[in-house]
Chain A
């Protein structure tokens, strides 16, 4: 007897929950050969708005967690990715049209990259911060602090999982919370990553994943006054100059689009891009 396949209709990942798009819209996710794979939610501006609210309310807890704890939580995600590697490999094979070895290599690299960034959580402050020399009986300390809510347009090309991980991991390290617009044509890795995050130790709202059209959603995130930074890494095909201009109205930190094989390569600078340097004076102890 022939069995009827049950295609899945995926939802968004906002505030630790999986809501449908407020608009009720979905779109078809196709394989590289044009076959139907699944339905994904087509997020609207209001979904992006809800995601920003969730990210904002999660910020205090995530930024306030100790660096050591954040590192552990991020490392745990890598562990869970490892456990789900077959699912990710299948999805990458079908949506990107690569063979199992290439897909497997991409998943490996994504996991390694996640571990690499997790390790920075309790180390980047030592590298980027400083005890400044002053001529007086004071400490003068500069320490990096998270910028706040970071909106990210995920890389839209191939390597959907690696691109997504490369974009969100560095923002999370410092304690920022993230609203990410997933790869429009290959969103399955992002959706599965959402399912991984939901079962990991990451507090709800720290990562929010909106699937749908970046061209439709990005302008709303760029102008949103409660978004503190905008990573346009995957916005190369959008009118990203206009997005930068509108982001300037609310003084956001902005990273430009990147393309090619070395897009969003792991670097300390990607972590520091979403930090603010706070400098404080403190008296030296009087003994």
Chain B
């Protein structure tokens, strides 16, 4: 734990105490631009170094099962249908029909209008925010561009929450962020967080998508991470998956460093979700190593770390089958989604 006085503040007062006043553009800019810059070369070298660890045999076995349990199995296509969502849910519940011992994924991630389909398809396996079963995450706030009025974004969130979403993946307004209107971004996250409140007063989990591929620099990624955490995000997520580059190891490492610093400062644990572009178990294992080395193994739980992915699961299942049967498997032996 921490000795910082920030730990004693109420969550909503913490940010204001840290930035020294109201969350205005000027105050936020002073604070965010006062954060030390990132040594890009050092960051990339560190990430590359973490990617060289050799994870074999029983450790690999553990890593593969852990990865499956951390996946937000995602379908975010214009062509999504209730049937597609049902088959996604079926895969989330039984990833490998040939091996009932395969763990379930953490959540399914769908568009807001598909939440109802996902919840009814899950039935009693719906974890509803808990850890026993599969959660439903919904992207909201005019995903993926975020280009809509605040009223529409909030309505988007409320509808998804009302339909039974346990987690909301919101996008920040990158235009406002890049233009330096940090106060607007901050206020939007606060408003969306409030919209995550259910009728019974409980809150849906809020993941804030920074869309790092549009933020151009690591310094901006670090600032946006601080901003999202200050405003009350439970998770910070790299990307929508619709913009290249999506999640990269250096970007995720820089976000994990912010999460680590925030935990030291306040004792609060924020989650991280790299999303998009992670397609092989080899890549995913690099992320596990990075998480364990940066914030600690405690973060390797679905409460604090997720992979946003669709094709990753099949590759992980192929690796799992290889380890179980002793011979190489092929794409004919996993379901196509």
Contact = CB atoms under 8 A, between A and B. Distances in A.
Interface string B313-337: 0000000010000111111110000
Contacts of B330: 52, 56, 224-227
A230 to B, nearest CB: 13
A42 B326 CA distance: 22
B331 A224 contact: no
A53 to B, nearest CB: 9
A116 interface: no
Contacts of B328: 49, 52, 220, 223-226
The dominant DSSP class at the A interface is helix
Contacts, number: 27
Contacts of B333: 225
A226 B332 contact: yes
Interface in B30-64: none
Nearest to B331: A226
A70 B321 CA distance: 35
Contacts of A224: 327-328, 330
A224 B321 CA distance: 11
Contacts of B329: 225-226
B327 A223 contact: yes
The dominant DSSP class at the B interface is loop
Nearest to A46: B328
Interface string A54-79: 00100000000000000000000000
Nearest to B329: A225
Contacts of A49: 328
* Central interface residue in B329, B330, B331, B332, by most chain A CB within 10 Å: B330
Interface in A202-242: 220, 223-227
Contact of A220 (B321, B327, B331): B327
Contacts of A223: 326-328
Contacts of B321: 225
A227 B328 CA distance: 10
A246 B328 CA distance: 12
Contacts of A220: 327-328
A208 to B, nearest CB: 15
A181 B221 CA distance: 48
A27 to B, nearest CB: 24
Contacts of A246: 327
A225 to B, nearest CB: 4
A227 B330 CA distance: 8
Contacts of B331: 56, 226
A12 to B, nearest CB: 17
Interface in B273-331: 321, 326-331
A246 B327 CA distance: 10
Nearest to A223: B327
A59 to B, nearest CB: 11
B334 to A, nearest CB: 10
Interface in A171-227: 220, 223-227
Interface in B60-117: none
A270 to B, nearest CB: 25
* Central interface residue in A49, A52, A223, by most chain B CB within 10 Å: A223
* Central interface residue in A49, A226, A227, by most chain B CB within 10 Å: A226
A210 to B, nearest CB: 14
A216 to B, nearest CB: 14
Interface in A236-272: 246
A57 to B, nearest CB: 10
A226 B332 CA distance: 7
* Central interface residue in A49, A225, A227, by most chain B CB within 10 Å: A225
Nearest to B328: A224
B59 to A, nearest CB: 18
Nearest to A48: B328
B119 to A, nearest CB: 35
A14 to B, nearest CB: 15
Contacts of B326: 223
Contacts of A226: 328-332
A58 to B, nearest CB: 14
Interface string B176-210: 00000000000000000000000000000000000
Nearest to A224: B328
Contacts of A52: 328, 330
Interface string A93-120: 0000000000000000000000000000
A247 to B, nearest CB: 11
A273 B333 CA distance: 24
B332 to A, nearest CB: 7
B279 to A, nearest CB: 13
13 contacts: A49-B328, A52-B330, A56-B330, A56-B331, A220-B328, A223-B326, A223-B327, A224-B330, A225-B321, A225-B327, A225-B333, A226-B331, A246-B327
Given A225-B330, A226-B329, 11 more contacts: A49-B328, A56-B331, A220-B327, A220-B328, A223-B326, A224-B327, A225-B321, A225-B327, A225-B328, A226-B331, A226-B332
User: Lowest 6 A-B CB distances belong to which pairs?
Assistant: A226-B330, A223-B327, A225-B330, A224-B328, A225-B329, A225-B333
